[in-house]
A and B are shown apart, each in its own frame.
Chain A
């Protein structure tokens, strides 16, 4: 089943990293990513740019209100997510633990997901195979 691993962390802390520190974290995470990829468990993964680059469209009003910044001002921010293909929650938690060891601080939220619409711009692997 598919799980989203949502990565929450204080983005001020991430911004305080030097380029070398950022690269060191990414290299440690890369080892975990590679293993998951080899095992065919890694789906799309995204790193979100800082919330200062975010814009929010508030529905409800007419017209909807466009405001600067993220939807919620929180102590820790959603900084990215993975989609992993795992047997159960335990396996998803094991992956999250490996990621946490590579990139301590913050939290991972594990949420089961339904594949709503795979990227339609990508060639369909089934068609390509056939």
Chain B
């Protein structure tokens, strides 16, 4: 899966979770940039990422994910 494909899949996840079809993901986008991206939403993102990409994320890894770019890199490393 290419980086572009990962970002496309992440965009679907973000738009679905935040109920906002206007979200355009950038690598430096973080919780400050998306309305409703709080700690609970963060866990929703991770759970959705696990399901979509069929990967397992360890609890300790979650704290290292500060922005969209970090999530994309983690996905890439696990595929």
A and B are partners in one complex rather than unrelated chains: no
